[in-house]
Amino acid sequence: MTLHCPETPPTPSSSHRVVALVAPKQELYPVTSASAVFGYHGPDIPQHYGFSLCAEHPGSLPTTLGAPIQVDNGLEAIDDAETVVIAGWSWTLAPSPAVLDAVSRAHARGARIVAVAAGIFVPAALGLLDGRRASVHWELSNELAIRHPRVVLDNTVIYVDHGDVATAGASAATLDLCLHQVLQEHGAAHAMRIGRQLAAGPHREGCQRQYPPLPTTGPMPDSLAPLLEWLLSRLPDQVTVEDMAVRSGVSPRTLTRQFTEQLGVPPARWLLERRLAATRAMLEETDLPVETIATRVGLSSAVNLRRRFHTALHTTPAAYRRSFR
């Protein structure tokens, strides 16, 4: 059986072209995650991106799933790509000169390079990460350090974005990194609409941890999900860490530890980030005054909202609304 991408309506000529560079023994999860974000979402969501695959040697490529995928485009597809996704390159094989040349030329003319998992070996081989921090999967840290010692490795965060080059340590972070690009280019409201359609959880910031340490006793990492859903449904309310702890049936200290281990931030910080995300969406999609938005997202007053907003985004709500409304 060979997997084929389903047909989608023609991509508007003005769309941002995303090309995923795949290789033999391809892991499909990061490819399908990128496609899910950058692909077609139906007539109700504006189509800002076009998505396609390419390979150094087009044709039927084996995958880790056991079924091959049919890739019709060669490396020439990268020539007019605006984003190149290198999704889980086989790190046991050094990138070929042809691949390195194609990616190098794309980067030189301004294309964004997104490397997932072992895909990091391609921009690293080109020197694009020399002296720069990069998210790397912990299993690849030693090999990457040996081959490319000038890369500043971070095997704790889920992704790092420098604008021209972004890295995601694990395949599961592909969705987060791609939604992050959508958010940066088209605003929080559009990213949230895509995330909701995909039934994805709340977008994780790059600073969150790649993987949580598994506790020897107590709840597993996904035990926070009911609490997070409860918090998102009560953004206007003044919820304290103590309230969260009571809801979860643990002490405030234990809850703070769980948040820090599993999400990379303490409870109050996580809740503030969700409130700011909701603020951004309302600034983009509504004409509500800042005072009303502050009440709806639980930031109590326009003064408090403006202060928090400026600290996080280095701009004012009014300037943000002018940019994205």
- Say whether pLDDT at 9 is over 60: no
Q: If you average pLDDT over residues 27-46, what whole number do you get?
A: 90
Per-residue pLDDT, 90: 64
Query: Hey, is 213 helix, strand or coil?
Result: coil
Domain boundaries, the chain: 16-190, 216-324
Percent of the chain residues past pLDDT 70, beyond the cut: 86
One fold for both 16-190 and 216-324? no
* Residue type (1 letter), 83: T
The more confidently predicted of residues 305 and 285 is 305
pLDDT tens for each residue of 203-250: 555 554 444 333 333 333 457 888 888 898 889 999 999 999 999 999
Per-residue pLDDT, 6: 45
Which one of 3.40.50.880, 1.10.10.10, 3.30.310.50, 3.40.640.10 gives the CATH number of domain 16-190? Answer: 3.40.50.880
CB atoms within 10 A of CB 150: 11
Cβ-contact 204, 176 below 8 angstroms? yes
CB atoms within 10 A of CB 323: 11
Closest CA to 18 of 107, 104, 84: 84
23: its two tokens: 């290789």
pLDDT tens for each residue of 114-170: 999 999 999 999 999 999 999 998 888 888 999 999 999 988 778 899 999 999 988
CB atoms within 10 A of CB 234: 14
Phi, then psi, of 105 in degrees rounded to 5: -65, -40
Q: Can you name the CATH fold of 216-324?
A: Arc Repressor Mutant, subunit A (1.10.10)
CB atoms within 10 A of CB 266: 15
> Can you give the pTM of this predicted structure?
0.65
- Beta-strand ranges (E) seen in 165-243 are 165-168
What is each CA distance from 178 to 73, 93, 286, in whole angstroms? 22, 26, 25
- Say whether pLDDT at 2 is over 60: no
